[in-house]
Chains A and B, each alone.
Chain A
Amino acid sequence: MIAIEVISKTYASARALQQVSFEVQKGELFGLIGPDGAGKTTLFKILVTLLLPDAGKATVAGFDVVKDYKMLRTITGYMPGRFSLYQDLTVGENLQFFASVFGTSIEANYALIADIYTQLEPFKNRRAGNLSGGMKQKLALCCALIHKPEVLFLDEPTTGVDAVSRKEFWEMLGRLKNRGLTILVSTPYMDEAVLCDRIALIQNGTILAIDTPEGITTHFTKPLLAIRGADTYRLIKDLRTAPFTHTCYAFGEYLHLTLKSESVDRTYIEAFLQQKQHRQIEMHPISPTVEDTFMSLMDRQ
């Protein structure tokens, strides 16, 4: 449904995208995962015909993003990262406006937005600027859906939204996917990655890996341990200088320690830490998460 072939884009001072290629299948919920400044928004803007790529080629639903932009604008829905509806128009007016701009009406495609719009209905006459963050996102999603697009582009839809609204939002995406929509979504949150069918990890304008959320962790090859101690700060410092350590990152209350090789024994690590006078040491092997994978791939780069 979306095919991206060696797309590059350079801004005056920075290379935003370097030879990015991947494909998204019809009906797929595809996640683009990466930190701020990785190039996610640039890629989105190219795909929704707001930006021209320097090199490479991309098609959405078979239409070229440069040549067939007119056609594309009628079949794609785009929700930018920043809330960009009219703050001084009400919820209803915004929806009405975007429907009419696309040459359709709210009634014609109501079925598609029904379960989202019912939550907004009580605020129908409120100005969009006075909505809460979660409600704004829902309205923006409604406006992006009102012309019944085939492909939906959501650029960091959950950034700055509370945990409950985030969960609800992903449930909505799941339902939209079940209706056959192809969805490309970007997020800086690794925990949202597992909710996608497939994900691409992106960093500094290059794709690090593309796989299913489960499959992507197989890119992580080294042994991984979770370690906790009384003095976390000293622990991370000592571990980072230890001879057996490949990397060591803090993940909440645990430290994730990657070892240089399989052969390092746990008793050896315990002895090393005891010698450094660490107390209340707790240690167990874990299987890597998407974030671990991302960190290690980033490191390799």
Chain B
Amino acid sequence: MRRILFLVEKEFKQILRNRVLLRMMLITPILQLILLSYAANFEVKDLQITIVDSDHSTYSRRLVSKFSHIENFHISTYEPSYKQASLQLLKNSSDIVLVIPPHFERDLYRNNRAEVQLMVNAIDGSKAGIASGYAASIIRDFNAEILTENFPAPPLQNGQVMIANQYWYNPQLEYKTFMVPGILFELLLLIGGLIASLNIVREKEVGTMEQLNVTPIKKYQFIIGKLTPFVIIGLVQFTAGLLVGVFLFGIPLEGSILLMYMFALLFLLLCVGLGLFISNISQTMQQAMFAAFFCLVLFILLSGLFASTENMPLWAQYLNYLNPLKYIIEVGRNVMLKGSSFYEVQSQFFALSLLTVLILSLAMWRYRKTV
């Protein structure tokens, strides 16, 4: 016990003396939380639209003016022909092209139907989907308008289903509310995984590992001695992140704060354990850095932080069973936004516990005192 205390004390002395690292560990996560929450935003704004109006009629102008009055759209150019408009798409200066064919108004009067064409730049698939959705709803709106004008007493009013949306747990559909709980835990992975993984490798590179290895320190003492400081630092960070989330972003904290901390502790143990495992199998800082980055990027991209996990291919969903970040982000969102209690997140708790035990045993097993 005394040995572990001395190890922890030594580790803290070293960390506190490394001023640059200390500052980086405390400031950068907060900065990242703020930046990411503001920047990682999937709302589609400022869509550039190019108009090809070959009809020049009252109706066609009305349709165009509907687009110009919607905040999300910005009419970039009017082009005389289809060809020049598609050039705009090619140049990437336009996201969407609305083509109104000649005789649009006449067809509408005579045949009671007319066609318009939408060309969407679909390089960014999700953006294209949202853009065409917006455009389609504007056109539908326009449709309804002229319908009421031409048939003052609409015959088809009965038998229609009206939809009234109500958004639960995030009533304003705030993107930040969705992101902050996730990023909060992603940052713990960064600190725990990355910094801890570099720690033992550094001792290897400097040679102090060899000196430690000839002492009677026991495996578990060494591992606990290395684990404790980073877990404590991680908890400090978590607190700072939570404060920023609640007070700066106004994210609700519906659930129990104790439950949040319990999960943070569990998750940190897992992250630092992963870091220690990586540094046990690496010989140089470069190797450790690379391995840690590989895990981090994979975990983050698959975690559901940015894209919903349910839409991933099946194999990715299976892979995700091993992704601790997936579970903890679910926990974070449910506890913070929904106010879930332990009972609702127990499956995540067991999954995380299992992964923690697994990775810590691996780290313990791979730590060799002889080469």
| Interface residues of A, Cβ cutoff 8 Å to B | 45, 48-52, 69-70, 73-74, 76, 78, 80, 82-89, 93, 97-98, 100-103, 143
B36 at the interface (CB under 8 A from A): no
Contact of A73 among B18, B208, B216, B371 (CB under 8 A): B216
A89 to B7, CA, bound (A): 13
Contact of B13 among A70, A93, A100 (CB under 8 A): A93
Contact B214 A73 (CB under 8 A): yes
A76 to B213, CA, bound (A): 12
B interface: dominant SS:
helix
Contact B216 A103 (CB under 8 A): yes
Contact of A88 among B6, B18, B207, B217 (CB under 8 A): B18
Which 10 pairs, one residue from A and one from B, show the smallest C-beta to C-beta distance? A84-B207, A100-B6, A78-B214, A101-B215, A84-B211, A73-B216, A82-B207, A74-B216, A48-B214, A84-B208
Contact B3 A103 (CB under 8 A): yes
Number of B residues whose C-beta is below 8 Å from A? Answer: 23
A143 to B212, CA, bound (A): 11
Contact of A50 among B10, B206, B214, B217 (CB under 8 A): B214
A182 to B221, CA, bound (A): 30
Residues of B within 8 A of A74 (CB): 216
Contact B210 A84 (CB under 8 A): yes
A158 to B207, CA, bound (A): 18
> How many Å from the CB of B176 to the closest CB on chain A?
40
Closest B residue to A74 by CB, please name it: B216
B23 at the interface (CB under 8 A from A): no
Contact B214 A76 (CB under 8 A): yes
Give B351-371 as 1s and 0s: 1 = Cβ < 8 Å from A's Cβ atoms. Answer: 000000000000000000111
B28 at the interface (CB under 8 A from A): no
A143 to B215, CA, bound (A): 11
Residues of A within 8 A of B217 (CB): 101
Q: Can you list 23 A-B pairs, Cβ within 8 angstroms, ordered by A?
A: A48-B214, A49-B370, A50-B370, A50-B371, A51-B370, A52-B370, A74-B216, A84-B206, A84-B208, A85-B211, A87-B206, A88-B13, A88-B18, A89-B14, A97-B6, A98-B215, A100-B6, A101-B7, A101-B216, A101-B217, A102-B216, A103-B2, A103-B3
| Interface residues of B, Cβ cutoff 8 Å to A | 2-3, 6-7, 10, 13-14, 17-18, 206-208, 210-217, 369-371
Contact B216 A89 (CB under 8 A): no
A59 to B2, CA, bound (A): 31
Interface centre among B2, B10, B14, by most chain A C-beta atoms within 10 angstroms, is B10
A74 to B218, CA, bound (A): 12
Residues of B within 8 A of A97 (CB): 6, 10
Residues of B within 8 A of A70 (CB): 216
Closest A residue to B371 by CB, please name it: A51
Residues of A within 8 A of B371 (CB): 45, 50-51
A93 to B371, CA, bound (A): 28
A52 to B369, CA, bound (A): 11
Closest A residue to B207 by CB, please name it: A84
Closest B residue to A96 by CB, please name it: B6
Q: A50-B213, A80-B211 are in contact. List 4 more A-B contacts (CB 8 A).
A: A49-B214, A52-B370, A73-B216, A84-B207
Residues of A within 8 A of B17 (CB): 88
Interface centre among B6, B206, B214, B216, by most chain A C-beta atoms within 10 angstroms, is B214
A78 to B217, CA, bound (A): 15
A219 to B94, CA, bound (A): 91
Contact A78 B370 (CB under 8 A): no
Q: A52-B370, A100-B2, A101-B3 are in contact. Are A86 and B214 (CB under 8 A)?
A: no
A293 to B287, CA, bound (A): 45
Q: A51-B371, A100-B6 are in contact. Are A80 and B215 (CB under 8 A)?
A: no
Contact A85 B370 (CB under 8 A): no
A73 to B210, CA, bound (A): 12
